[in-house]
Amino acid sequence: MTPAVVLVGPPGAGKSTVGALLAARLGVSLRDTDTDVEKTAGKPIPDIFFEDGEPHFRALERDAVQAAVTGHDGVVSLGGGAVMDPGTRELLAGLPVVFLDVELADAVKRVGLDAPRPLLAVNPRQQWRTLMEQRRPVYTEVARVTVPTAGRTPDEIAQAVLDALELKSA
């Protein structure tokens, strides 16, 4: 069993929103690995980071990603940093991975500067830039296609993903 689409990208890229639209259009379900991690831990991701540490969160995330990409045939949305794990990159090889490429200004609007994002807690704009410097090459490496989100609505982004992967709506 392999996913129909796997979405990757930074915080604010629209992975959850676009993922839900894609799932509806394809007639499949959406699996969000961040939601899976929160269910497993019994608490929100910021609490996992602050109470248990990032290494514990990343271990939970690795397990959630492995379960999702090997056991779900719908749309999978990965947490922003999941692709930094070498094992995750191996799992993504050959899958229909789409990098939702978002610009800083759009990400800030979507995420909000006061949103509970642990890695963006201090100086969010600079932290986001730094994350993207580290992660952009990896997002590009694992993705079959890159879909720019600038100036597009979530519906337009979803359609661009379908077009790029040559998938038909249900």
Tell me the average pLDDT of the chain.
88
Which residue in the block uniquely carries the two structure tokens 């939702």? 100
What tens digit of pLDDT does each residue of 41-98 get? 999 988 998 899 989 999 999 999 999 999 999 999 999 899 999 999 999 999 999 9
Run of H or E residues at 147: strand 145-148
pLDDT of 96: 97
pLDDT of 110: 59
Strand bridging mode 97-101 / 30-32? unpaired
62 in helix, strand or coil?
helix
Backbone angles phi, psi at 30, to 5 degrees: -105, 135
Run of H or E residues at 164: helix 154-165
Domains of the chain: 5-165 (3.40.50.300)
Q: Tell whether pTM > 0.75.
A: yes
Which residue in the block uniquely carries the two structure tokens 């979405």? 7
